[in-house]
Structure formats: C-alpha cells, structure tokens
Chain A
Amino acid sequence: MHLTSLTIDAARSAVQERTTSASAWAESHYARIASEDAKIGAYLALSNERALEQAARIDALAEKGETLPPLGGVPVAIKDVMVTRGLRTTAGSKILENYIPPYDCTAVARLEAAGAVILGKLNCDEFAMGSSNENSAYRPVHNPRDLERVPGGSSGGSAAAVAAGMAVATLGSDTGGSIRQPASFCGVVGLKPTYGRVSRYGLIAFASSLDHIGPLTRTVKDAALMLRTIAGRDPMDSTSADIPVPDYVAELKKDVRGLRIGVPKECFGEGLDSEVRASVEAAIQKLAGLGCEVIPVSLPHSQYAIPAYYIVATAEASANLARFDGVRYGFRSPEARTLSDLYRKTRDGGFGAEVKRRIMLGTYALSAGYYDAYYLKAQRVRTLLTRDYEEAFQKVDALVTPASPTAAFKLGEKSDDPLAMYLADIYTVTANLAGIPGISVPGAPTKSGLPIGVQILGKHFDEATILRLAQACE
C-alpha cells in the first residue's frame, strides 16, 4: 500500500495480521522522509531510537498473537511545540535550539500508550505564531501539493507530513486556526477539539485561554480514533474537563439525516475566493442531499473577531513568553554582562521577528493606560462573539463555513505584511475565542488542483456531530 493513503486501521491491521511489522512501517516511513523531506521540510528531528523500541514492543505483542492497542504500530509525528522526554523540542524557535525536555506531553504519552510509534518532531511557526509556517526559525515548510506554496500554519509540518506520506497521523496545536487552516491548505483532515477536551500538559504555551491540541489525519475516522485516544481529564492540566469521552468512532456510524446545519452569511461575503465559495457550497448541497436541513444563520459580530483575537492572543503570549529568559533552559546570549542585559540579549537573539511583534503588541495592550482600551475591550467583544455562537446553536446542530478565505498562497506572498497574514485566520479564530470544536475536511479542490477545506463547527463537547458531518462530506 502506498504510504500517502495509509490509514490508522490499515496500518494497525497489517501489523496485527503480520503481513508487515511495526518496525517495517517505521523503516518505510523513515525511508520516505529521507527521500521526500529535503524538499518539504516537515521534520525538525527524527526519533529513530524511540520509534524502533516502541515498534519492537508492538511487534512482540503481534507475534504472541495478542490484540494490539488501537494505534498499535501506527507511525505518527508530533508538532514541535509539545515536549518529548529526552527528545529535543524547539517550538520552531532558536531560543529553544538545545532544549531537551525532562518529561512528556500528556497527549504524546497517551498516543504511545495506545501503541503509536513516534517518528519525530514537526516543523511549525515559531511558538505556533503564524499562518504560513514561514516563521519557523529553522526553515519554511513547502506544501506537498505545490512546492511553491505554503502549507499553512502554524502546524504546517503536521499537515505536510500527513499529505506527503511521512506519517499516518500527526498532532498539531490550534490557537487561532493552526490545525484547521494547514489541514485545508494541504488537503487533509484537521480537528480542533473543544477547549478542555484534550489536556495541554506539556504543550509549550502561546495563549493559554485559546491553545488546543488536536489531530491531523487522512480520514475523518482517523481523526475520531486519534481524538478518542488523547481526550479526557488529566490531573496535570486543571483546564482539562472531567467529562466522559464518547466513542467517537462508534458515533460515526449514526446517520446525518435530520441534522440542522447553519450557514452563517457573514462567512460568505467579501474577501472569499470564488472557488472556495463554490467548494463549500457544494459540500452544503451534499449534506442537504443526505437529509440535513440547511438553515441560514447570522454571526453578527464576525468582523470583530480578528482584532479581538489578536489582542487577547498577544496579551496572553506576552505573559507566557516572559519565561524565556536564558536562566533555566534554552539559549543564553554569551554577550551579556549583567542580569538585565542577559534577559534582553537572550530574548533579542533568541526570538524571531513575528514573536517579538506579538510580545510587543501584547505588552502594549496590557500596559498602564491601554489595558481598558485594548485588553478589556477585546475580552468584552469575546463575550459577544461567544454569544453569537450560542444563539446560532439554539437553531442548528453545526455550522458550515470555509476554513480559509483562499487556497494555499505562495511563499513570500504575505510574509512582509503581518496584518494581511492575520486576515488569513478570519474563519477560524472565533472558534478559539468561544472554545467550540471545529474540523476542516477536504472539499472539491480548485481547478488547478489546490486543496480547499470545508470547516464544520459544533457545540461545546459535541465533536461527535461535527465528525459525523465531516465524514459525510468526505
């Protein structure tokens, strides 16, 4: 089977039935990474030793004829914002160039406990700040569907690795669309769960009230399998919800007939590419044909989402990134002579331009005299944006929108204009502000063959419904 179309069940079954082995899956993926990744740039580090040890454990189980765990022998990879014990974790930043974490992120540990084989760490925008993966301090990622184009961001490596057959599934993080937008650009499935559904313990924090971990996969069923594995209460993350985790895979068998899907008119206005519009409308038609009721709805505050988001996100980032000071771990500037000099020179030399811009914006928004005008104002608008969803979900079970206003743009096209880059997140940021789940599933591509993502948003903790609808769109 070709690695670009391998699914979780197919990979696991082949190991279970011993038509191949977990070790062979890992080796064939490493061979593919060796031949493909020079031109794509999805991986920042490979974890061969850890992968082959885990694969050997799974192979031993298979040889004994034991039933493999749900991800037994499945090669996966992790966005480099999640810490991995003994394995360099950079967050795409020079400031963590030599950081070897002493513990594992809960989501990573849960994947391994379910039998997954961790191939390595994936490239991303520095500290997950970006929409094109051009903000990685190491190298940009190229979109496997068209190497002149960006894979999206910030989980660009996570999306590209799945699209290019270099991992069966990956973990990404989503603070304003960083799973869903790259999934849409690379033609894969990307799921941002509800806030609190998946533990963030071990996720290097960007904006704590907006950060989420979620899977990128080739099929909706794989996304359901990954979510079922990583979801649920974790005593190490007090924001993780103590709410039972449904069997998302079993839930997929339910019919979508009778579900009410809302189409927010604000998401189909100015700035939306006509081919993206046509693709999303076709998906809505398909759902209607399957018996869903299509209902026009309004999210009246949509135009305020980007400005509110960029104030809240940067304010939180400026606080979270204060910890990078060159004292306890990571890069330290060798030029510093005093302690205050040490902080400044370390941060100046360690952070890239976009990270500095966001720290500056967030610090400004929180500073005396501006706090009420910017930060508090944005928090109040956050309430209005959340109410928009609450009102829409009185009438419908899910919303269908584009994931991004355009298909993948070219490298360099927006990298000099931060505001233009921020506007690429227009359809995704509100789900983070409100904490609702969202999934991007590939719709019909553009005439030139570029992928387009259809976004489905759901009620809090109702991932099961958006997964079902997404599967119906596949």
Chain B
Amino acid sequence: MKVTDKDVAYVADLANLELTEEERPRMLRDLNAILGYVDLLDELDTKDVAPMAQVSDRFGVDPNKAGSARFAYARRDDIPEGLRKSLAPETVLKGAPETDGTFFEVPKVIEK
C-alpha cells in the first residue's frame, strides 16, 4: 500500500474535497491500484531525459532566441486597447450563485 488513509485525508484537503466516509475507502483502493500500475515507469532510466510539459516545447520554439521570445507559437501582436473588451459585469454576474449586483457574495471569511 503506497497511499494510506492519512494520505487520502491530506490530499483531499489540498484539493478542497471532503469525501464522505463511504468515499474514502474506495478512493484509497483505487489510488493504490492506479499508482501500483504507474510504478511501471520506474523500469525506465530517465535521468538524462528532459521533461516535456507541452507539445509546443518541441514545435514552434525558436532555439536562436532567448527567454519567452523563443516561444514563437505563443506570441501575438499587442493591441493597445487590449485583445478584446471585457464582458460587462452584469453579464458575468448573471451566472453567479449569489451576488449583490456589484460583487460575488460568499460566506463571511473573518468571524467576530
């Protein structure tokens, strides 16, 4: 067993999940089964292999440039007024579960 009950509780906390009493043992079982399979990767010696975060790391990168200028694919011409005007606040707030018309409302963060 790689993952313990304690790990499940800790990771759920990091992920902002609670998980019910019924969900936890199932999660423990599934995570151990999947991570057991992932151990297959340990067969490979990768110490001299560079990690790949993005396909664009290998394509559309200009090796002759430095810094972010290398990433040709991500470049765009600046538009003085911004790429596009933002959505109107009332449009966005229409989707909010709770709002006072100006702000998103959430339960009080600081208790008296």
Contact = CB atoms under 8 A, between A and B. Distances in A.
A268 interface: no
Contact of A378 (B41, B56, B94, B97): B41
A235 B74 CA distance: 10
Interface string B1-33: 001000110111011111110010011001101
Interface string A316-354: 001000100111111110001111111111011001010
Nearest to B3: A364
A48 B37 CA distance: 47
B107 A341 contact: yes
A339 B106 contact: yes
B62 interface: no
A289 interface: no
A311 interface: yes
B14 A363 contact: yes
Interface in A363-412: 363-364, 367, 374, 376-384, 386
A235 B83 contact: yes
A435 B59 CA distance: 10
Nearest to A368: B14
A359 B38 contact: no
Interface string A232-257: 00011011011000000000000000
Contacts of B8: 360
A102 B84 contact: no
B78 to A, nearest CB: 11
Interface in B20-54: 20, 23, 26-27, 30-31, 33-35, 37-44, 46, 49-54
Interface string B47-80: 0011111111011100000000000011110000
A422 B74 CA distance: 32
Contacts of A286: none
A345 B17 CA distance: 7
Contacts of B19: 348, 356
Contacts of B33: 418-419
A460 B26 CA distance: 40
Contact of A360 (B31, B42, B107): B31
Nearest to A238: B74
B37 to A, nearest CB: 6
A103 B84 CA distance: 12
B108 to A, nearest CB: 8
Given A327-B106, A377-B46, A460 B31 contact: no
Nearest to B46: A380
Interface string A414-454: 00001100100000000000110000000000000000000
A345 B95 CA distance: 19
Interface residues of B, number: 60
A102 B84 CA distance: 14
Contacts of A383: 49-52
A195 B60 CA distance: 11
Contacts of B60: 196, 241
A196 to B, nearest CB: 7
B55 A434 contact: yes
Contacts of A103: 87
A332 B41 contact: no
Contact of A239 (B27, B34, B73): B73
A138 interface: no
26 contacts: A102-B91, A196-B55, A209-B55, A301-B44, A306-B37, A307-B38, A307-B40, A307-B41, A325-B16, A332-B97, A338-B109, A340-B16, A344-B16, A348-B17, A353-B26, A356-B19, A359-B17, A360-B11, A360-B27, A363-B14, A364-B7, A377-B46, A380-B52, A384-B44, A418-B30, A422-B34
Interface of A: 99-103, 195-196, 209, 235-236, 238-239, 241-242, 301, 303-304, 306-308, 310-311, 318, 322, 325-332, 336-345, 347-348, 351, 353, 356-357, 359-361, 363-364, 367, 374, 376-384, 386, 418-419, 422, 434-435, 460
Name the 7 nearest CB pairs between A and B, nearest first: A435-B55, A379-B51, A332-B97, A329-B95, A380-B46, A195-B55, A307-B38
